[in-house]
Amino acid sequence: MNSDYISQVGRSTFYVENTHTNNYGDIQGKRVSIENNKNKPIELYINATQQNNRGSFPVQKKPLSVSLNKSLMSDEKAAILIQSFYKGYKIRQAIQTSSVSPGVIHTRINADNQMLKRIGIERFDQSRGNRKIDYFSLNHKQFSGGVYGGEKLYNPVKTSGEELFKVFSKDNSSNAVVFINGSFFNMSKLASPEKPETATIGESSITAIKVCTVKVPSGYENDYSILKFNNGSYISVAPILGKNNEAQFLENKLTDAKYQYTRVTGLPGKLGHSSDPNPRAAISLPENQDNTESNDSRVRLVVGRADGRGKNSNGYTMPEWSTFMTRLDKLNNTPSRSYNLDGGGSVAIGIINSNGEKISLITQSSSGRSIANFIGFSKK
């Protein structure tokens, strides 16, 4: 039995004291005592003590109210109603949505594995704490996308909004741009000392102009796909996470040594990082974008941040990331597919308006990382 409970304070005020790891509260009806107050609202105050890597800290009390007609229900039924109300509150706290720009919805998830399971996301390791995921969704019929950058490295945190907007302005001069970091590149020239850092791993064409590339590492050729956009640009990405609403990178793939992390398999373009929890980025989009049935389907730009990297971080193994992205694919009313993008410190999504203002910017690191390419969308 967990330590979440409701205790009476005064005549009709109750406190939910949450001092256990189960943050959405399986509250026992027999532990609730309610006086016979007819038609009076009961105020619930969330009085939580939460844990993070710096220790415990109190959370400000947040009142909730629910009206109970005690003449129509027993204490047990009242407790069940309070429990349901409280759980709904916790879901709303764990999953928040907002409109951040015309046509763009931001969803933020900060939830433990039990909460994720309740919304249909399973196969996550149960021991690594809350997962932090952000994604922007936009109607694919109203927005056009492309691959941008390639000529130099840009740090989305340190680069001004005005300069960053110019990266995308070849196709767009007046609308806000929604962007995410792109695919693997020759970071620190570790993939090829002879090629510039901006070289992409695998074939790419940025704003319809071919850029310098590095050959896909040997043994990983079948993991790569070419992601094409209507403006003629394309980029090589790996691996595919979901196809026709089915997860593609399953746990059994990790038996292959090329997906197990070593100093060699961890080089840019290789997928040795698949076995370990890492910050990740991905894109989900309708399988057949010309299908009229997909008019209401959405593109989703997704980042999963983490408190560090490695076995004990709350990041995502590739099978976990594939599971999550396939769940997002299924939100569309037609079959969709999703692709992994560059992760780790490269993780970044944001929105910049035509005045060069960063309306939103979410990165793995507060100081950002210089990256070589982006995927961007703006209204048609």
Report how far residue 96's alpha carbon sits from residue 109's, in angstroms, rounded to the nearest whole number. Answer: 7
Read off the pLDDT of residues 205-248 as tens digits, 9 standing for 90 and up: 986 566 889 999 999 999 999 999 988 899 999 999 999 999 99
Q: Compute the Cα dihedral for 138, 140, 143, 144 and give only its sign.
A: positive
Other C-beta atoms closer than 10 Å to the C-beta of 251 total: 14
Residue 108: φ, ψ to 5°? -120, 125
- Tokens 């409970």, residue located: 5
* Paired tokens of 68: 């109970």
Residues forming a β-bridge with 372: none
How many Cα atoms are found within 13 Å in the side-chain-facing hemisphere of 241?
Answer: 29
Element (H, E) at 218: none
Report how far residue 216's alpha carbon sits from residue 194's, in angstroms, rounded to the nearest whole number. Answer: 15
CA 365 to chain centre: 15
- Say what the pLDDT of residue 209 is: 67
Query: What are the DSSP calls for 89-100, one per residue?
Result: HHHHHHEEEEEE
Report how far residue 21's alpha carbon sits from residue 206's, in angstroms, rounded to the nearest whole number. Answer: 47
Per-residue H/E/C for 272-304: HHHHCCECEEEEEEECCCCCHHHCCCEEEEEEE
Alpha helix ranges (H) inside the chain:
75-94, 113-118, 161-168, 318-329
Q: Does the pLDDT at position 70 exceed 70? A: no
Interval 303-314 mean pLDDT: 84
Element (H, E) at 42: strand 38-52
Query: What are the DSSP calls for 179-246, one per residue?
Result: EEE-S-B-GGG-S-TTS-TTPEES-EEETTEE--EEPPPTT-GGG-EEEE-TTS-EEEE--EEEETTE
Q: Does the pLDDT at position 87 exceed 70? A: no
Report how far residue 43's alpha carbon sits from residue 3's, in angstroms, rounded to the nearest whole number. Answer: 20
Report how far residue 278's alpha carbon sits from residue 74's, in angstroms, rounded to the nearest whole number. Answer: 49
Q: Compute the Cα dihedral for 370, 374, 378, 380 and give only its sign.
A: positive
Q: Is 26 exposed, middle or buried (0-12, 13-18, 19+ CB in 10 A)?
A: middle
Widest distance between CA atoms in the chain: 80
- Say what the pLDDT of residue 182 is: 97
This prediction's pTM: 0.78
- Mean pLDDT comparison of 12-16, 121-125, 212-216, highest-scoring range: 212-216
So where are the chain's domains? Answer: 5-93, 102-379
* Paired tokens of 338: 């999703």
Other C-beta atoms closer than 10 Å to the C-beta of 302 total: 25
Residue 187 is which amino acid? M
Percent of the residues in the chain that have a pLDDT greater than 90, as a whole number: 52
**φ/ψ bin of 68: left (φ > 0), alpha (ψ from -120 to 50), beta (otherwise):** beta
pLDDT category at 7 given cuts 50, 70, 90 is very low
CA 270 to chain centre: 22
Report how far residue 233's alpha carbon sits from residue 362's, in angstroms, rounded to the nearest whole number. Answer: 25
Interval 32-38 mean pLDDT: 38
Whole-number average pLDDT of the chain = 79
Nearest to 271 by CA among 204, 305, 318: 318
- Mean pLDDT comparison of 125-129, 146-150, 205-209, 239-243, highest-scoring range: 239-243
pLDDT category at 37 given cuts 50, 70, 90 is very low
Q: Do 179 and 378 touch, CB atoms closer than 8 A?
A: no
Query: What are the DSSP calls for 318-343, one per residue?
Result: HHHHHHHHHHHHTTSSS-EEEEEE--
